[in-house]
Amino acid sequence: MASREINHFIHQNRNAVTAFSLHQKFPQECESVAIAKQTLKEVTEELDKGAAKHAAATVTEASVTVARLEQAPNAVARATLPVIAAGNSTTVAVMEPEQGPDDDGPQEIAATEAVTQTEQTVPEWTAPAHTEIDPFDPDYDRVVEESPEIIKPEARPVLEPEKFAKPESEIQNEIGALERGNQELKNSLKAEISLPEVPAAPAAERQKALQTINKILTDAINKQNASETFHPVYLMTWDEVHQEEEKQHPVFPLPSKPGPEWNDEILHGPAGDVIRKASRFCEAHPAGMLVDFLVSIGNMIGRGPYFNVGETKHYTNEYVCRVGDSSTSRKGTGRDAIDSILKVVDDSWFLNRVSKGFGSGQAVIQQIHDPSIQMRKDPRGSGWTEVKVPGVNDKRLFIREGELATVFNLANRPESQASVVLRDGWDGKPLHNIVKGKDQSGLSNTLRCEEPHISISGDITIHDLKMTMPDGAAENGFGNRFLYVWVYRTQICPNGGPPLDWSNEIVLFQQIVKDARQVKHVSMTDTARKWWNRHYGEIEDEERRGRLGLAGKMTARAAAHIRRLAMIYALIDQTDQINMDHFEAAKKLWDYCEESALYIFSGVTAEQLKIINWIGQRGPQTYQQIRDELYQRHRFTEDIKADLETLVRVGKLVLKDKMYFKIG
């Protein structure tokens, strides 16, 4: 996706890129949109510096030409002076954004008038066309919308045919310019085209043939450029959009949104393969689909595999909260996409152990309570009778809510024990709910479950999350038991997709779940242990987490989450040992979750937080100090300014006398 966004940026600014003949260098040299912007900026500044030299060279060349023709023996030759002066530059097609001389030049002009006119019309250097639509101008979007044709200025032939005969040496120079220009145009073409042959002599015929080829190549480049213009909404060229529209199940990718950056390399192993296949014709974000699938498999496996942290056992259950800015994030769509495989891998689990709509903590325990023996008074008054109350044998419970706000509202009730029940459920600790009173049959309402295996997966918007998160969730650990995943619509699929054949994946994951249920302790390989020891300090860095504010508190169980995700990855790979690949895959997914939490709870990106913390440590800073000292001039200046403007707008910084101050 990143490479397409780089190309999108390049094509938006193609007038500048084309003028510098750099359009071939950009895709190879730019690893990100920021680097592409910086490269364009630097080259623009370099060309501007060369303006004076270019103008001086033009005037010198014109003066020499005038001096030579003033000595010509006839007035016709001297009459060519204004034509030469007006059309002095022989810059190659893709290098010249300006229009060439008009074809309708003067047919006859007195020699003295020609000299006078030449002296008065010495060509002045004009800034390249990129200044007419500066990509860094605040009005850039408006200008592009009103005048879309200037995004891709048409190429023009290297040399226009002239009305007057030229000396042989000048014709040879123009032939050389044509040959160089034609070669550059050929290099820019993505498809080969048929071109006429070029005679070796005479020079005039050779020049004419090269001009014809130049015109053919110019038209081909313009046609190619038109097909490569990017669509204003989709991350595609117009040509690609038209091709996609012809398909039965078209897919139109969308540009990424603000927030954490997703990379498909996070998709690891068989689980990653499932998500790649499911997301091909799905509008949901793959991050939300991946965590939902992993948490589902972890709950499906049950309370068997574990690892120890001291005396505490951690199992394969997890809690996940998918967060989007609105219903258009397609959170539920992603869940539906993977249900088609989950409900067949273990149909009993899908039908009986996946539930929602709980009204109390007791209702949660009711789904997994243990059997008990109670004493009930005989209604005939003859004493007490021992009653065996059956329990639920399957301790797996997957709470799957389309609106996770219902769970948070439940946990936020002052009289409810739901918050405690759900916290203990994540920990795998015994659940108790001691209540007064008895039911109609005379049995106690008190329930317990010694070995719960509870998982949660739900969807919510940022607004609802902040409004319904239980009081004290940041301090009591309720909030940091969740993985937070930022999701949004990644593509548009007007007709959905064709039915997917999951037969191979179903057989594979049925075997994976069966094998995993036989596993008890999950250990690490020696290589994985070294990896864990090396990264543990970084993962548990309390000082760094403290700088993250609320987001830091909501991600305080990083080590436990990474270990649990790595264990699930290992079991999916049908092994009872976590290796380094499992840790690295889990860490990549966790990094996305941590950056999601930062964006969700702090409203800033990682780079914006970096600026805030820098100013907090150093005191008030100017833009130049931030650019030079924090980023060492390695970040695009417009991106730094955009982040500073955002931080001022959201009240994180205040600008006074060109100094940025941290608020609070």
- What does the pLDDT look like over 114-139, one tens digit per residue? 334 444 444 444 444 443 445 555 55
Residue 582, pLDDT score = 97
**Is residue 530 predicted with pLDDT exceeding 50?**
yes
**Sign of the Cα pseudo-torsion (347, 273, 560, 256, in order):** negative
At residue 320 the predicted structure's pLDDT band, cuts being 50, 70 and 90, is very high
Average pLDDT, the chain: 79
Angle (CA) 647-653-658 rounded to 5° is 105
- C-beta of residue 595 within 8 angstroms of C-beta of residue 609: no
At residue 608 the predicted structure's pLDDT band, cuts being 50, 70 and 90, is confident
**Is residue 585 predicted with pLDDT exceeding 90?**
yes
**Which tokens go with 114?**
């020609």
**Which tokens go with 195?**
């071109």
Question: Any residues with CB less than 8 A from the CB of 315 and at least 6 apart, and which?
Answer: 303, 304, 305, 306, 428, 453, 564
Residue 253, pLDDT score = 92
**Sign of the Cα pseudo-torsion (557, 558, 561, 563, in order):** negative
**Is residue 235 predicted with pLDDT exceeding 60?**
yes
At residue 141 the predicted structure's pLDDT band, cuts being 50, 70 and 90, is low
Torsion of CA 612, 617, 623, 628, to 10 degrees: -120
**Is residue 354 predicted with pLDDT exceeding 80?**
yes
Whether the model pTM is above 0.75: no
pLDDT in tens, 483-497: 999 999 999 999 999
- C-beta of residue 93 within 8 angstroms of C-beta of residue 213: no
**Is residue 442 predicted with pLDDT exceeding 70?**
no
Strand duo 453-461 + 447-449: pairing: unpaired
pLDDT in tens, 160-192: 555 556 677 888 888 888 888 888 888 888 778
Residue 661, pLDDT score = 92
At residue 90 the predicted structure's pLDDT band, cuts being 50, 70 and 90, is very low
Angle (CA) 274-279-280 rounded to 5° is 105
**Is residue 622 predicted with pLDDT exceeding 80?**
yes
Helices (H), 308-353: 331-345, 347-352
**Is residue 318 predicted with pLDDT exceeding 90?**
yes
At residue 371 the predicted structure's pLDDT band, cuts being 50, 70 and 90, is very high
**Rounded mean pLDDT of 275-290?**
94
**Is residue 51 predicted with pLDDT exceeding 90?**
no
